[in-house]
Amino acid sequence: MNLFIDRLITKMKEKDSRICVGLDPHIDQIPEYLMLEAGAREANNQTKYLEAAAHAVKDFNKVIIENIKPFSAVVKPQLAFYEQLGLPGLKAFKETVKFARESGLMVIVDGKRNDIGSSAKGYYNAYLNKENDSNKPALGFVKADALTINPYLGFEGVEPFLENEEAGIFGLLRTSNPGAEKIQNLMMASGKRFYEELALMFEKWGEDYCGEMGYSNLGAVVGATCPEELAELRKLMPRTFFLIPGYGAQGGGADDVVAGFDSNGCGGIVNSARSIIFAYRKELYKDKYKEKEFGLAAAEAAEKMQIDINQALEKAGVING
């Protein structure tokens, strides 16, 4: 069983978990003691500050990963938070991906990459390239399990990312941000909305990349804040696995994401970032955990999310408790 999607579903079943933890390290929310220990507060120039802040991010991520790994099969680092720290940030990103995979977690890189031809192949080489069986050096920046992409250049901008069957991609389809509907809900001449037409394309594009469990290595990003559209897309896309953002801080809840799953409780993974990794700052946990116990707060928040989603699916008659 080599296909990414089969490995993902198997790992989710092993952990009885449908959650993905977003590693989005907002610098202004990193525990102050980590910033102090790394020397970020004493840095007197940009180079030193970026190096120190990246070091704090790396240490923060490692604590989060250690604490949430019993409750999640997947983490999703958002590249923007690492790129803003320059080369030190990219090094922290690379070490985070390596540490997560060594900890038994799968990694979805959230980069929303998009291009065609050799440029798309370059992004593929950077994040999803196959292991090199020859003695020649291989291209690549990190070894991730999946990457988010922007599909709006058509199949030419999608196909290069599907070369490695052990890796997957998630294309933007119906996102959870408020302004998305102005574009994604545009009515087409066919009478369908734009995202519906794109959904049918996804199903067609992914049909040659399906695994033994019925889903394709080409997945789709569908927001939790649009439950009716999520339900509609689940019917339109029986072979497409959903990455569902928007849970928690963006307003989506357990009942909202139920529609993204099939009758066996499969077909989707729900992402939450701030509500888990910065749980120690939230009203529910801030009196219970000290700053240095941020990992314990994250663990409790991840476990709660895991249980809440499973209970919502059980209530809907999708899975048995």
Token look-up 């072979």 returns 239
pLDDT at 133: 65
Query: Whole-angstrom Cα distance, residue 142 to residue 184?
Result: 32
pLDDT at 224: 84
Query: Does residue 320 belong to any structural domain of this protein?
Result: no
Query: Does residue 161 belong to any structural domain of this protein?
Result: yes
At residue 136 the predicted structure's pLDDT band, cuts being 50, 70 and 90, is confident
To the nearest whole number, what is the mean pLDDT of the chain?
94
pLDDT at 135 over 80: no
pLDDT at 119 over 80: yes
pLDDT at 110: 98
Radius of gyration of the chain (CA): 19
pLDDT at 291: 96
pTM more than 0.75: yes
Percentage above 90 pLDDT, the chain = 88
DSSP, residue by residue, 73-129:
SEEEEBTHHHHTTHHHHHHHHHHHHHHHHHTT-EEEEEEEE---HHHHHHHHHHHTP
CA atoms within 13 A on the CB side of 70: 10
pLDDT (tens digit, 9 = 90+) per residue, 295-315? 999 999 999 999 999 999 999
Query: Does residue 321 belong to any structural domain of this protein?
Result: no
Query: Whole-angstrom Cα distance, residue 52 to residue 68?
Result: 25
At residue 25 the predicted structure's pLDDT band, cuts being 50, 70 and 90, is very high
Query: Whole-angstrom Cα distance, residue 171 to residue 20?
Result: 16
Boundaries of domain holding 227: 4-315
Query: Whole-angstrom Cα distance, residue 73 to residue 62?
Result: 15
pLDDT (tens digit, 9 = 90+) per residue, 85-102? 999 999 999 999 999 999
Q: How many helices (H) and strands (E) does the chain have?
A: 12, 8
pLDDT (tens digit, 9 = 90+) per residue, 267-292? 999 999 999 999 999 999 989 999 99
At residue 147 the predicted structure's pLDDT band, cuts being 50, 70 and 90, is very high
At residue 167 the predicted structure's pLDDT band, cuts being 50, 70 and 90, is very high
Q: What residues are annotated to the active site?
A: 112
Name the token pair of 30: 């990193």
Query: Does residue 180 belong to any structural domain of this protein?
Result: yes
Which among 235, 234, 232, 257 is positioned nearest to 246, based on CA atoms?
Answer: 257
Query: Does residue 33 belong to any structural domain of this protein?
Result: yes
Angle at 64 between CA 61 and CA 65, to 5 degrees: 85
pLDDT at 246 over 90: no
- CB of 199 closer than 8 Å to CB of 177: no
Query: Does residue 63 belong to any structural domain of this protein?
Result: yes
At residue 131 the predicted structure's pLDDT band, cuts being 50, 70 and 90, is confident
At residue 177 the predicted structure's pLDDT band, cuts being 50, 70 and 90, is confident
pLDDT at 58: 98
- CB of 158 closer than 8 Å to CB of 202: no
pLDDT at 1 over 70: no
What CATH number is given to the structural domain containing 148?
Answer: 3.20.20.70
Query: Whole-angstrom Cα distance, residue 316 to residue 214?
Result: 22
pLDDT at 250 over 70: no
pLDDT (tens digit, 9 = 90+) per residue, 215-245? 999 999 999 888 889 999 999 999 999 999 9
Query: Whole-angstrom Cα distance, residue 269 to residue 20?
Result: 6
pLDDT at 318: 81
At residue 19 the predicted structure's pLDDT band, cuts being 50, 70 and 90, is very high
Number of domains comprising the chain? 1
Percentage above 70 pLDDT, the chain = 97
pLDDT at 62: 98
Cβ neighbours of residue 173 closer than 8 Å, sequence gap 6 or more: 151, 184, 195, 198, 199, 202, 220, 221, 222, 233
